[in-house]
Amino acid sequence: MTTTTARTDRIYKSPSEFLVRPNFVDYEAERSAFSWGEVARQLGADEDDMCNIAELALDRHAMGPQRDRTAFRFVNSEIRDGEFGTEDISYGELAEQARRFTNVLRRLGIGKGDTMFVAAGRVPALYYGILGALRNGTVVSPMFSAFGPEPIATRVRLGEGTVMLTTEKLYRRKIAKVRETMPSLRHILLIDDDGSPSEVAGTLNLARLMAEVDDDAPLTPTKATDPALLHFTSGTTGTPKGAIHVHGAAVTHYATGRYALDLHPDDIYWCTADPGWVTGMSYGVIAPLLHGVTSVVDPADFDAERWYRILEQLDISVWYTAPTAIRMLMKAGPELAQQFQYPKLRFVASVGEPLNPDAVLWGRDVLGHAIHDNWWQTETGGIMIANTPAFDIKPGSMGRPLPGVDAFVVRREAGRVVIVDEPNVEGELALRVGWPSMFRGYLNNEDRYRESFSGDFYLTGDLARRDADGYFWFVGRADDVIKSAGHLIGPFEVENVLMEHAAVAEAAVIGIPDDMVGEVVHAFVTLKVGHVANEALRRELMGHARKRLGAAVAPKGIDFAEQLPHTRSGKIMRRLLKARQLGLPEGDLSTLESSS
């Protein structure tokens, strides 16, 4: 087995002024003293195992001194005279609206154990609808609002949804045409797009229903083990899998918001992920509310100048975003970033795909803050491995396991799992079971769920290695690894090296079948502004890769592209690139683009 290393010898030590009130400093001492039970007690979960996400995230603040603090600050889509307009909703106001929504559901006969699907933009009703449903014991299944009709219908059928919360515009454009294919749906609640109630056949107007109920809605009792969220995983290779999460997951969201995101109650926090994805739900809705912070919500699509303005004008202190967005900011050039100031920004983190080392250091050089990568999955429900503000950062590393999380590199041998103790040896990343946000099943697929575990280990399907300092390094998905002439090559390590080159904005690497060596490495790159795709640059990139990686691992071919295909959540679709390269049918592109 061959292991290659991309720039692992560099360590970025965070300047002391960036370590603003880190929630822990001594890693080993914190791990030794850590207890999930103690975190639950700090959060206020009952001793008899009663637990409700909405109560912990919202009700307890609304009934205390945080009542008047802004929970969500919604940014207007348009900028006027260079300034953003905003709409604030306090914890108390949000709780009142959530209680009214709870009563709307009860009036419709929707109760504990029913499933509500949500497909809407980032508007206030989305947030109080989610929280109101959780208060009711209703399971929430978020969907990305850019899904096409068929991905929406597929998920609702699989989840047997009884109610859907969406907007009038989305309903007319996408959902009405597949309404009859979702027989379990009893009610569709429409959010007004323009603020004026309207009637659409076969639906109910949410504003009108909210006006007809009061805000006296006692909480439906739920246990920590009761289902709360249904997250569908990637659908690029078949039917999406529904991962079931429970109310007790809030304990993980709280702990990881403290450790990995360094949240404090007076923070102004911005998570750029859409609530239709697990990141946007866990860390755009639940975790910041649990910590009582103010969250900025921007409904607009990515725009580099807009994002810099938000960081500057809205006093963002903690920013959680995605590698694709960071690479797009890098592509826009440092000159744009230097037009703005971010005096309150103190911590930047990233998740979604592994963050290339150069992106980590770009954050340090351009934003003034190295970007802290972390790792988790839909199935883990929360951040498991992270570069915390208390750590020295090794650019390109996932970081170290958070307190309460035990991670290992393992091999599967003869039906059992063997822990790899030697550092820098590749294997499968495994987690010891027991953290509160671990998924509790795949919907209607118990066999697939059982296959994810071996004894006390959850097997992630990701390949990784652990260095001598306990930092973990992502190699690739097990099914993405390229096998060439006896070498196991992770696409990410090759992409890292290509992105070190000054001309490359983004890179994607796949394996192409070869009769002689099994597979050969092939790369696709997009270029930064000011660089021209030509044969001379291709040869230069090939030489750079061979010098850094060696001839056995470096790509044998490089294609230039205007852009790379991504899922809606920003992950590079390597399988689509491979299908195109081989001239194979790409399948239903709308399904490919809908993966999380």
Residue pLDDT, tens place only, 24-35: 778 999 999 999
Domains of the chain, start order: 16-35+39-466 (3.40.50.12780), 480-592 (3.30.300.30)
Phi and psi (nearest 5°) for 505?
Answer: -90, -40
pLDDT at 234: 60
Mean pLDDT of 157-186: 95
d(CA 86, CA 544): 47
d(CA 446, CA 440): 10
Residue 391 clears pLDDT 90, i.e. is over it: no
d(CA 105, CA 137): 10
Specify the amino acid at residue 468. Answer: A
Closest CA to 145 of 170, 116, 164, 178: 170
Torsion of CA 492, 494, 497, 503, to 10 degrees: -100
Of 155-169, 345-359, 468-482, 534-548, highest mean pLDDT:
155-169
Residue 429 clears pLDDT 60, i.e. is over it: yes
Please check whether residue 215 is in contact with residue 100, taking contact to mean a CB–CB distance below 8 angstroms: yes
Residue 15 clears pLDDT 60, i.e. is over it: no
Q: Read off the pLDDT of residues 344-384 as tens digits, 9 standing for 90 and up.
A: 999 999 988 778 888 999 999 999 999 999 999 999 999 99
Residue 444: both structure tokens together:
């209607």
Please check whether residue 170 is in contact with residue 120, taking contact to mean a CB–CB distance below 8 angstroms: yes
Mean pLDDT of 173-188: 94
pLDDT at 307: 96
**Sign of the torsion formed by the C-alpha atoms of 309, 311, 316 and 321:** positive
Q: What are the DSSP E strand ranges found in 41-119? A: 70-80, 83-90, 115-119
pLDDT at 47: 59
Closest CA to 137 of 119, 158, 116: 116
d(CA 307, CA 285): 20
Please check whether residue 167 is in contact with residue 255, taking contact to mean a CB–CB distance below 8 angstroms: no
d(CA 381, CA 231): 9
d(CA 209, CA 104): 6
Residue 12 clears pLDDT 60, i.e. is over it: no
Residue 493: both structure tokens together:
């390590």
456 or 487, which is more confident: 456
Please check whether residue 142 is in contact with residue 129, taking contact to mean a CB–CB distance below 8 angstroms: no
| 37: Cβ contacts below 8 Å, ≥ 6 apart | none
Q: Read off the pLDDT of residues 230-286 as tens digits, 9 standing for 90 and up.
A: 999 864 335 788 999 999 999 999 999 999 999 999 999 999 999 998 999 999 999
Residue 295: both structure tokens together:
């969250």
Residue 140 clears pLDDT 90, i.e. is over it: yes
**Sign of the torsion formed by the C-alpha atoms of 304, 306, 312 and 317:** negative
Mean pLDDT of 15-38: 76
Q: Read off the pLDDT of residues 523-575 as tens digits, 9 standing for 90 and up.
A: 999 999 889 999 999 999 999 988 888 787 889 999 999 988 877 656 788 87
Whole-prediction pTM:
0.82
538 or 148, which is more confident: 538
Q: How confident is the model at residue 588 (pLDDT cuts 50, 70, 90)?
A: very low
Residue 130 burial (10 A CB sphere; 0-12, 13-18, 19+): buried
Cα 321 to chain centroid distance, Å, stands at 8
Residue 209 clears pLDDT 80, i.e. is over it: yes
d(CA 236, CA 596): 9
Mean pLDDT of 458-474: 94
d(CA 562, CA 546): 24
Residue 1 clears pLDDT 80, i.e. is over it: no
Q: How confident is the model at residue 485 (pLDDT cuts 50, 70, 90)?
A: low
pLDDT at 458: 97
pLDDT at 487: 63
pLDDT at 511: 87
Mean pLDDT, rounded, of the chain: 88
pLDDT at 596: 31
Closest CA to 143 of 132, 134, 154: 154
pLDDT at 133: 98
Q: How confident is the model at residue 444 (pLDDT cuts 50, 70, 90)?
A: very high
CA contacts within 13 A on the Cβ side of 72: 25
Q: Read off the pLDDT of residues 408-421 as tens digits, 9 standing for 90 and up.
A: 999 998 888 999 99
Q: How confident is the model at residue 17 (pLDDT cuts 50, 70, 90)?
A: very low
Lowest mean pLDDT among 13-17, 129-133, 363-367, 452-456: 13-17
pLDDT at 13: 45
Instruction: Dump the DSSP string for 176-217.
Output: GGGGGG-TT--EEEEE-SSSS----TT-EEHHHHHHHS-S--
Q: How confident is the model at residue 338 (pLDDT cuts 50, 70, 90)?
A: very high
Q: Read off the pLDDT of residues 51-93 as tens digits, 9 standing for 90 and up.
A: 999 999 999 999 999 999 999 999 998 878 778 899 999 999 9
